[in-house]
A and B are shown apart, each in its own frame.
Chain A
């Protein structure tokens, strides 16, 4: 069942990221872990890095969106974003047909979404390996692919514990 949210914005949860060399899993196990947050799907080594995150309150979520630029985001970009095809090849052809203005609007909206994700982490991340942590520490993760994956997975965990989702409704 896809229900794993927290009811209080004071509750915290420890998570790991699957690009950590101390975490072993198959693609299916990774997907199950990201869906449920249940570490039993993973094989954890002793040196796996743990991230402590908290669920967001409505005010914190709204604040994250405002800080990311919700008031000035491109509405055309948002509209195009929602209309874009899911299939990657089809999307590439669809994107090729856009005018320069539309491409710029899409790009601005993508930047806005990235900012929202960063601000969500800023509001939610409490500590790394039990030591107080900030978003800036995540930005220093190298290689770049691990930095991007760490941020993506943390955002998925924050959304999972903070939002009700379709299953919950």
Chain B
């Protein structure tokens, strides 16, 4: 979920979004009504012993290798929205607005793990964007 927040914004128009559910009739239900389990009528859904999932590269086609193999089991947009407070605290800390310790003075293990994961994927996305810019410059 936390990794999805990074790659959804990185992939922009090519990744899953709420607009798609608004425009395509029945898609919201197939995607689990904003956070529930996927419906087996969802295109490109796969099944394993834990239930239905969509591979990360189907959710965010232009994601890094760490994310593309992940098994996404509920709508990542809804998940990212649920984690918005952690995501905004991380970005405010990163931009120097205020330290994360002032908003979360006694973090749980889960919070620390979430920020670690968010940081790792944010760095990976930035690195990917830089690599792409270098490649584009090389080829004019």
Contact = CB atoms under 8 A, between A and B. Distances in A.
B42 to A, nearest CB: 16
Contacts of A61: 109
B52 to A, nearest CB: 13
B106 A8 contact: yes
Interface string B91-134: 00000000000001111111111100100000000000000000
A120 to B, nearest CB: 11
B86 A58 contact: no
B77 to A, nearest CB: 12
Using C-beta atoms within 8 Å of the partner chain, give the interface range for chain B.
20 to 34
Nearest to B89: A7
Question: Which residue among B3, B35, B106, B110 has the maximum number of chain A CB atoms within 10 Å of its CB?
Answer: B110
B108 A8 contact: yes
Secondary structure at the A interface, as helix, strand, loop or mixed, is loop
Interface in A123-147: none
Contacts of A163: 109-110, 113
Interface residues of A, number: 23
Contacts of A56: 108-109
A150 B60 CA distance: 42
A3 interface: yes
Nearest to B82: A3
Contacts of B104: 7-8
A57 B2 contact: no
A80 interface: no
Interface string A2-42: 11011111110000000000000000000000000000000
